[in-house]
Amino acid sequence: MQRKTHTAIAVLGALALILAACGGPAPAVEVTREVEVTREVQVEVAGTPQVEVKEVPVKFAEAGDTLKAVIDRGKLLCGGNAGVPGFGYLDPATNQFAGFDIDFCKAIAAAVLGDSEKIEVIATTGTTRFPALQSGEVDVLIRNTTWTISRDTSLGLDFAPTTFYDGQGMMVRKDSGVTALAGLAGGTVCVQQGTTTEKNLADVMRKLSVDYEPLVLADAQATREAYDEGRCDAFTTDKSGLVSQQILLKEPDAHTILNETMSKEPLGPLVRHGDNNWGDVVMWVTYCTIQAEELAITSKNVDEMLGSDDPVKLTTLGVEGDLGLALGLSADFCARVIRQVGNYGEIYARHLGPDTPFNLPRGPNELWTNGGLQYSPPFR
């Protein structure tokens, strides 16, 4: 039998006031109370039949009513990336954010506000991203963030469906002669702080008994530059991140990504734990893009599809039934998303497909009907 005691100590956070006093941006959600919860859990004592009670501290922000906050504000605040081309990138030429992750931010704005352009992207790093969401500075975090058990529980967050199934990789210079992780013995590896990458690197190298020196840096730019300047022999992050950073290196063709995949990195949007309706909104907007691809509904043919004789298409687009209303959205929320942003396949092709510098095969990000993992539950 498991006993769970929740001792809630509400610490009134003055973040909203501080931000207002400093003339900073208005917080996303009014409630920025930090809640500290102690969970008493029974843990098994290894190797014995005994069980002991352990106190696990958990700290998170009160979730608030994010849907209402977004509608009242008329703008969606997304925590994003500024330095990962293809996924989340602040293009210096246009001063606009663009990428695969940014399009999911736009999709939520299209569904909630009827306009995919009503977004503001707040750039975050590996270490600033979770506090930005926990404090209410952003409504949703969409930034190559891996779904892990501890982020889902101890950090007080909830993950929406995975938008990009990835794994960690290792980049080396072609002329180094290194063809496998074992070849990095005695070498230095550049890695970004506050990421799953840091821990996976330690675990994988320990398992392989490879001695190496980590060089830990604050953000993507610092990590890439350290590698480019030859301060380390290899650069590790998610394979998507490596492909992205490669085009920013001085000589992209002089580098290669090893075949080994060091971990599972399911990447997707996340919200504060406790605001279940907002979590559902982000979840079903994400699924809408996948469902539409499966039904061959695209940004080009969506209006034609409103007159389809397929009842599943009609329900998905809100022509029949009103599934969106129970989320606090309009019945046609998914049609708005597809009209303005496109289906999953269109989003993927726009930022990562053959007409981009990345040309990333869909791999596990194919639809389940094509042997991949992307699968939407029924719009029923």
Cα separation of 225 and 232, whole Å? 10
Give 124 or 315: the residue with its C-beta nearer to ligand GSH.
124
Partners of 9 in beta bridges: 36
Regarding 81 and contact with ligand GSH (CB under 6 A), the answer is yes
- For 70, the token pair is 């977004």
CA angle at 272 for the pair 105 and 191, rounded to the nearest 5°: 75
| Contact flag: residue 268 with ligand GSH (CB under 6 A) | no
Residues in the chain: 380
Taking contact as CB under 6 A, which single stretch among the options 82-90, 202-210, 292-300, 363-371 is the one that binds ligand GSH? 82-90
Stretch that binds ligand GSH, among 48-56, 80-88, 91-99, 360-368 (CB under 6 A): 80-88
Q: Which one of 5-13, 63-71, 188-196, 225-233 is the stretch in contact with ligand GSH (CB under 6 A)?
A: 188-196
Strand order, beta sheet including 168-173? 213-217, 188-192, 234-238, 168-173, 255-257
Q: Which is nearer to ligand GSH, 38 or 127 (CB)?
A: 127
Q: Which of 32, 134, 163, 195 binds ligand GSH (CB under 6 A)?
A: 195
Stretch that binds ligand GSH, among 36-44, 235-243, 301-309, 338-346 (CB under 6 A): 235-243
Interacting span for ligand GSH (CB under 6 A) from 30-38, 96-104, 138-146, 290-298: 138-146
Separation CA 161–CA 130 (nearest Å): 18
3-state helix, strand, coil in the chain (%, to 5): 35, 25, 40
What is the smallest separation between the CB atom of 241 and ligand GSH, expressed in angstroms?
3
200 binds ligand GSH (CB under 6 A): no
Site membership for ligand GSH, residue 144 (CB under 6 A): yes
Note whether 232 binds ligand GSH by CB under 6 A.
Answer: no
The backbone torsions φ and ψ at residue 98, rounded to the nearest 5 degrees and listed phi first, read -150, 155
H or E element that contains 327? none
145 touches ligand GSH by CB under 6 A: yes
Rule CB under 6 A: is residue 241 a binding residue for ligand GSH?
yes
Alpha helices in 58-160 (DSSP H): 66-73, 100-113, 129-134, 149-153
Q: Tell me whether residue 359 is exposed, middle or buried, using C-beta atoms within 10 angstroms of its C-beta: 0 to 12, 13 to 18, 19 or more.
A: exposed
> Residue 165 or residue 379: which is nearer to ligand GSH going by CB?
165
- Write down the least CB distance from residue 245 to ligand GSH, Å: 6
Among residues 15, 16, 31, 84, which is the contact residue for ligand GSH, using CB under 6 A?
84
Amino acid at 317: L
Select the span of 6-14, 18-26, 77-85, 286-294 touching ligand GSH (CB under 6 A): 77-85
Separation between Cα atoms, residue 117 and residue 133, nearest integer Å: 21
In degrees and rounded to multiples of 5, residue 359 shows phi and psi of: 45, 55
Cα–Cα dist 272/61, whole Å: 8
| Under rule CB under 6 A, residue 125 binds ligand GSH | yes
- CA dist 186 and 327 (Å) reads 54
Minimal CB distance to ligand GSH: which residue? 241
Cα separation, 214 vs 238, in Å, equals 16
* 32, 134, 163, 196: residue in contact with ligand GSH (rule CB under 6 A): 196
Contact between 192 and ligand GSH per CB under 6 A: yes
280 binds ligand GSH per the rule CB under 6 A: no
Indicate the DSSP class of residue 44. E
Q: Which stretch binds ligand GSH (CB under 6 A): 53-61, 144-152, 256-264, 362-370?
A: 144-152
Among 101, 137, 228, 265, binds ligand GSH (CB under 6 A): 265
Residue 197 CA to residue 171 CA, distance in Å, equals 13
The binding site for ligand GSH (CB under 6 A) comprises 81-84, 125-126, 144-146, 192, 195-197, 219-220, 237-238, 241, 265, 267
